[in-house]
Amino acid sequence: MTGRNSFVLRSKPRVVSSASFVGEKEGEGPLGSCFDVVCRDDTLGLKSWEKAESRMFESAVRTALFKIGKTTDDLSLLIGGDLLDQIISAGFAAREIRAPFLGLYSACSTITEALMLAGMLTEAGFSNLAACTASSHFSSVERQLRFPLEMGVQPVPTAQRTVTGAGSIIVADKEMMNSIQDPPFSHVALTGGTIGCVEDYGITDANNMGAAMAPAACKTIVSNLRDFNRTASDYDLIITGDLAKFGSEMLYELCGKEGVDIERNHNDCGKLIFGDDKTAVCGGSGCGCAASVLSSHFLPLIETGELKRVLFLATGALLSPTSSMQGESIPCISHAVVLEHIEN
């Protein structure tokens, strides 16, 4: 261990493949051409948005495995979750996938919790092929966590739009990677990470997730830099999951107070995915945001070496409609993984 929150992965577990399924609006954004599949009908022809989200989760796993000539039978582990009550998107997808399944709940930081666990379990020899997967769906999340879409509630200026999307990222040990012919990625390694603690600055506005989550991201960045004895510039990019425009500004301010300047080498999946689309207000959010953008936009940049070392941290807001109605503030968490370009 390196510090209380951080860990080093000496065996450098590899990211060998990934896949993303997104909705039409995400496909129309600036990253549209990166995603594997853009679903023009967000029900996928199924009877409910919930069933569609689960199918996207499942399809992302199968597609990522297909790219390396594997099937779900080859998986050591399926690790992941989503935002819905009792993580039904992941649970029902796991029923179809039939691999040993570790269900997680970490709100929008689920994909980083999955990657951390896959990294540690691969390092320890408990997994040689793990699918880390997370999903969200605008329409299933809105009606479960906020309001029925039929109400036509207008977003507030700090609102973010839940991404319809799923991303699956395949983590393998080196031996497994070497046995795969032409994997999509052969130069991307998980070299460490930082496990978050829950932070709560007392924000009670469930329409201002960026502000609620920024302190958790700041804490995890500062812990990571201290534990690894690095400065922000030791990372080509520090990538957050879905702080979006407002949360990112808050993050710069909070990091500044800790003496860390990340403004020049920070980006955020929630800011990127919808570009300047004003209907998304501050940007994207949801488990599927970080998962799909990492899968399809950032991993290829690490593979080519355009990015040599990144700190990827997603943030999760651990509230529920019940806790909000009971007047509770919003506890948040942020987990980080270090992804590096390596020559072999």
Q: Mind giving me the DSSP string for 235-254? A: SSEEEESS-HHHHHHHHHHH
* Footprint of a second copy (CB under 8 A): 1, 4-5, 7, 47-48, 50-51, 76-77, 81, 83-88, 91-92, 94-95, 97-107, 113, 117, 120-121, 123-126, 128, 144, 195-200, 318-323, 326, 328, 331, 333
Compute the least distance from the CB of residue 275 to a second copy, in Å.
Answer: 29
Residue with Cβ nearer a second copy (97 or 225): 97
In this complex, which beta carbon is closest to a second copy, that of residue 121 or of residue 302? 121
In whole angstroms, how close is the CB of 44 to a second copy at the nearest point? 15
Beta partners for residue 338, in sequence order: 192, 311
Of 165, 149, 146, 154, which is closest to residue 24 (Cα–Cα)?
A: 165
User: Residue 267 or residue 320: which is nearer to a second copy going by CB?
Assistant: 320
Geometric angle at alpha carbon 233, from 228 and 239, rounded to 5° = 85
Gap between the Cα atoms of 14 and 188, Å rounded: 6
Q: Residue 119 or 247: which CB sits closer to a second copy?
A: 119
Residue 64: strand pairing partners = none
Residues pairing with 339 in the sheet: 190, 310
Segment (H or E) for 127: none
* Distance of closest approach, residue 331 Cβ to a second copy, in angstroms: 4
Residues 6+ apart with CB under 8 A from 125: 173
Q: What gap in Å lies between CA 201 and CA 211, rounded to an integer?
A: 9
Provide the minimum distance between the beta carbon of 192 and a second copy in the complex, in angstroms, as a whole number: 11
Which of these, 46, 137, 24, lies nearest to 96 by C-alpha position?
46
Min separation Cβ 261 and a second copy, Å:
26
Q: 31 or 78: whose CB is closer to a second copy? A: 78
The full DSSP string for 118-163 is HHHHHHTTS-SEEEEEEEE-HHHHHHHHS--GGG-PPPPTT-BEEP
Pick the closer one to a second copy by CB: 199 or 268.
199
Spatial distance between the Cα atoms of 107 and 241, rounded to a whole number of angstroms: 11
Contact 122, 200 (CB under 8 A): no
Question: How many alpha carbons lie under 13 Å from residue 209 in its C-beta half-sphere?
Answer: 30
Residue 117 dihedral angles phi and psi, to the nearest 5°? -65, -45
Q: Shortest gap between Cβ of 267 and a second copy (angstroms)? A: 25
Amino acid sitting at position 340: E
Give the nearer residue to a second copy in terms of CB position, either 34 or 87: 87
Question: 84 vs 338, which CB is nearer to a second copy?
Answer: 84
CB of 32 to a second copy, least distance (A): 30
Shortest Å distance, C-beta 49 to a second copy: 10
Q: How far is the CB of 194 from a second copy (least distance, A)?
A: 8
CA dihedral 339, 273, 252, 104 (to 10 degrees): -60
Pick the closer one to a second copy by CB: 34 or 289: 289
Give the span between the Cα atoms of 230 and 19, in whole angstroms. 31
